[in-house]
Amino acid sequence: MVLVTQGYHLPRAMLMCDRVGLQTSGLAANRLGLLTSRGSCPLEILWIRSARFVREAGLTWLYWLRIYDRLSNEAERLQPSGGSGQPLP
């Protein structure tokens, strides 16, 4: 399975897939050149990237320590399936 997401999400997303038993290869969508640049000046870009890094680092630690699922209202538990909706054995 190929997991496509923003580069800053990729390590955590792959960790989540690995933890539920999904074998994935990651592809950072921002490396494909399909997305427009965000930020109009170097300081704004630095701020955005710094905020993303801090956010992802915090969320990765929360997930690693198994706290993420208890704190997040939007996270759903991943159930690996073979495409039929039935859990894999």
pLDDT digits (tens, 9 = 90+) for 58-76: 888 888 888 877 776 654 5
CA atoms of 64 and 7, how far apart (whole Å):
19
Helices and strands of the chain, counted as H and E runs: 3, 2
Question: Residue 19 to residues 35, 37, 51, 66, 83: CA-CA distances in angstroms?
Answer: 29, 32, 26, 11, 19
Residue-level pLDDT at 6: 84
CA atoms of 85 and 80, how far apart (whole Å):
9
Q: Is the pLDDT of residue 85 over 60?
A: no
Provide the whole-model pTM: 0.58
